[in-house]
C-alpha cells in the first residue's frame, strides 16, 4: 500500500494536469435539448478559438430554477414568456446590435414580439406552435376537426395519448379547449381548466413525456401526441403515417430567443455566438438537423421552397394570422398557481 500511494498520487497529478489547459475564452450556453447541430458548436469553437460549455434544460421553469441556484451563463435560449419574466426581473442585459449584423436577415414578423417589443434584449432562435401529431391510420381526421383539443378527452382514444409534461402547454390546451384565453387570469377559468386536465388524467390514461415522445411516435407507440411543430416536422419525415394537426380553437405561437444574462461573464463572445447562429450556413445546418422552423428569412425560403428539406411539410410552417393563436404572456401569480395545479394533476 505504501508503495502504491506515490504511484497513485502521481497518476492523479498527471490526470489533473491534462485537464488544466491554458484558458482560452469560454462561452457558457444554456439551451433546450437536441436544439442544435453539434457540428455547429465545433465550428464556432474553431472559428473563434473558444471553448463552449453547452448545457441543456428540459423546460423554461427548470432553466429559471437553475439560474436561481446561482449558475452563470453567457447565452440562454428561453421561450417568449420566460424572456418577459427575465426582463421584468432585470436579469438580462441589452444587446449591442452593432455586434449582430446578421439580425437583418430575421423574418420581419418575428421582430417586435410582445415579450420584447422594443427589440433590445432578444434575438429569435427557433419558432413554431403546438399541435397534435396523429397516426393517420388509426385516428379519424373528422374527429380532430370536430373536437379539436377536446379529442384529448375523447375516451375513444383512451390509453393512446401522449401529453407533453409542460405546465403552460397543458393549461394552454385546457384553456383553448374550453374556449378561454391561454393567458387567462380569471380564477373560475383556471379552475375549469384544472378540472379539464384532471378529467384527462383520470379517464384517458395518458403518458406524460417530454423529448422521449419523439422516438416513441416515430415507432408509433401511441396514436395521438401533443407536439411542438418542429418535432412534428422531423417525425413526419421519419414515419409516413404520422401527420400534424392544429385545432381551430387556436394554439400557442411561440418563439425561443437568445438572450444574454446581466451577469454573463463573457458578453462579447456571447454576441459573437448569437450572430454566428444567424449565419446562413449555420442556421441551415441547425434547422435541417433539429427540425424546428428557422427565423432566418433566406434559410426559411430555401428549405420550404423547391427541393428544400421541408418542402410541403405543413408542420414546418406555423400558421400565422389566426386570431385564436396566442403567444404566452408572463404573470407571476398565474405561474405559481399553474405550477401547483400541474403538480397536483400529475400526482392524481
Partner 1 sequence: MVGVKKNRWFAPLAIGSVLLFFYLPILIMMIFSFNDSRSLTGWSGFSTQWYEALFKDREMMKAVYTTITIALASTLVATFMGTITAIGISKSRKLIKELILTVNNFPILNPEIVTAIGLMLLFSSLSITKGFYTMLIAHIIFSTPYVILSVLPKLRQLDADTAEAALDLGATPWQALFKVIIPQIMPGVVSGALIAFTMSFDDFVISYFVTGNGVKNISILVYTMSKRINPTINALSTILVVIITFALILINVVPNMKKKERISIE
Partner 2 sequence: MKGFANLVRPYMVWIFGGIVIPMLLIVLYAFTKHGNSVMAFQFTLDNFIKFFDPVFVKVLMKSFEVAVVTTLLCILLGYPIAYIIANVNEKIQTLLLLLITMPMWINMLVRTYSWISILSDKGLINGFLVYLNLSPIKMMYTDFAVILGMVYNFLPFMILSIYTALAKMDKAIIHASYDLGANRTQTFLRVVFPLSLSGVISGITLVFLPAVSTFVIPKFLGGGQYMLIGNLIENQFITVGEWNFGSAISMIMAAIIMFSMYMTRRFDRDIEETSKGGGVVW
Among partner 2, partner 1, none, partner that 221 touches (CB below 5 to 8 angstroms by kind): partner 2
Q: Which letter does DSSP use for residue 106 in this model?
A: B
Binding mask 202-241 for partner 2 (x = CB under 8 A): ----xxxxx-----x--xxxx-------------------
Task: Give the residue with the Cβ less far from partner 2, 83 or 200.
Answer: 200
For strands 25-32 and 161-164, give the pairing.
Answer: unpaired
Are the CB atoms for 298 and 280 separated by under 8 Å?
A: yes
Binding mask 32-61 for partner 2 (x = CB under 8 A): --------------------------xx-x
DSSP for 217-281?
A: HHTT-SSEEEEEHHHHHHHHHH-TTEEEE--TT--BEEEEEEB-BTT-S-HHHHHHHHHHHTSHH
Compute the distance between CA of residue 174 and CA of residue 338 in angstroms, rounded to an integer: 12
Task: Give the residue with the Cβ less far from partner 1, 66 or 111.
Answer: 66
* Nearest Cα to Cα of residue 82 among 257, 265, 296: 257
Contact pick of 101, 112, 117, 159 for partner 2 (by CB under 8 A): 159
Among partner 1, partner 2, none, partner that 17 touches (CB below 5 to 8 angstroms by kind): none
Contact pick of 8, 12, 42, 62 for partner 2 (by CB under 8 A): 62
Compute the distance between CA of residue 182 and CA of residue 324 in angstroms, rounded to an integer: 10
Q: Answer yes or no whether residue 135 interacts with partner 2 by CB under 8 A.
A: no
Instruction: Give the shortest CB-45-to-partner 1 separation in angstroms.
Output: 10
Task: Give the residue with the Cβ less far from partner 1, 12 or 141.
Answer: 12
Q: How many CB atoms lie within 10 A of CB 323?
A: 6
Task: Give the residue with the Cβ less far from partner 2, 75 or 170.
Answer: 170
Amino acid at each position: 500500500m505504501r508503495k502504491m500511494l506515490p504511484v497513485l498520487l502521481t497518476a492523479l497529478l498527471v490526470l489533473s494536469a491534462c485537464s488544466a489547459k491554458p484558458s482560452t475564452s469560454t462561452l457558457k450556453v444554456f439551451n433546450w435539448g437536441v436544439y442544435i447541430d453539434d457540428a455547429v458548436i465545433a465550428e464556432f469553437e474553431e472559428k473563434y478559438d473558444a471553448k463552449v460549455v453547452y448545457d441543456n434544460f428540459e423546460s423554461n421553469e427548470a432553466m429559471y430554477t437553475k439560474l436561481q441556484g446561482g449558475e452563470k451563463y453567457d447565452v440562454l435560449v428561453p421561450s417568449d414568456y420566460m424572456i418577459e419574466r427575465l426582463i421584468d426581473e432585470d436579469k438580462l442585459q441589452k444587446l449591442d446590435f452593432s455586434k449582430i449584423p446578421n439580425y437583418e436577415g430575421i423574418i420581419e414578423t418575428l421582430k417586435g414580439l410582445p415579450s420584447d417589443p422594443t427589440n433590445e434584449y432578444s434575438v429569435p432562435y427557433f419558432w413554431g406552435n403546438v399541435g397534435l401529431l396523429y397516426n393517420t391510420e388509426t385516428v379519424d381526421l373528422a374527429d380532430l376537426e370536430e373536437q379539436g383539443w377536446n379529442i384529448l378527452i375523447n375516451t375513444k382514444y383512451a390509453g393512446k395519448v401522449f401529453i407533453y409534461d409542460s405546465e403552460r402547454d397543458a393549461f394552454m390546451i385546457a384553456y383553448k379547449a374550453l374556449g378561454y384565453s391561454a393567458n387567462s387570469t380569471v380564477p373560475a377559468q383556471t379552475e375549469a381548466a384544472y378540472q379539464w386536465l384532471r378529467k384527462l388524467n383520470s379517464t384517458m390514461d395518458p403518458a406524460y413525456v417530454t423529448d422521449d415522445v419523439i422516438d416513441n411516435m416515430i415507432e408509433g407507440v401511441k396514436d395521438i401526441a401533443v407536439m411542438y411543430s418542429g418535432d412534428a416536422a422531423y417525425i413526419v419525415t421519419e414515419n409516413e403515417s404520422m401527420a400534424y394537426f392544429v385545432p381551430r380553437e387556436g394554439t400557442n405561437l411561440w418563439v425561443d430567443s437568445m438572450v444574454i444574462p446581466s451577469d454573463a461573464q463573457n458578453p462579447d463572445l456571447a454576441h459573437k455566438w448569437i450572430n454566428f447562429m444567424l449565419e446562413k450556413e449555420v442556421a441551415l445546418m441547425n434547422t435541417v438537423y433539429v427540425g424546428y422552423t428557422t427565423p432566418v428569412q433566406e434559410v426559411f425560403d430555401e428549405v420550404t421552397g423547391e427541393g428544400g428539406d421541408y418542402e410541403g411539410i405543413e408542420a414546418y410552417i406555423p400558421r400565422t394570422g389566426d386570431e385564436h393563436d396566442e403567444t404566452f404572456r408572463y404573470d407571476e401569480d398565474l405561474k405559481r398557481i399553474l405550477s401547483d395545479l400541474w403538480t397536483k394533476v400529475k400526482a392524481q
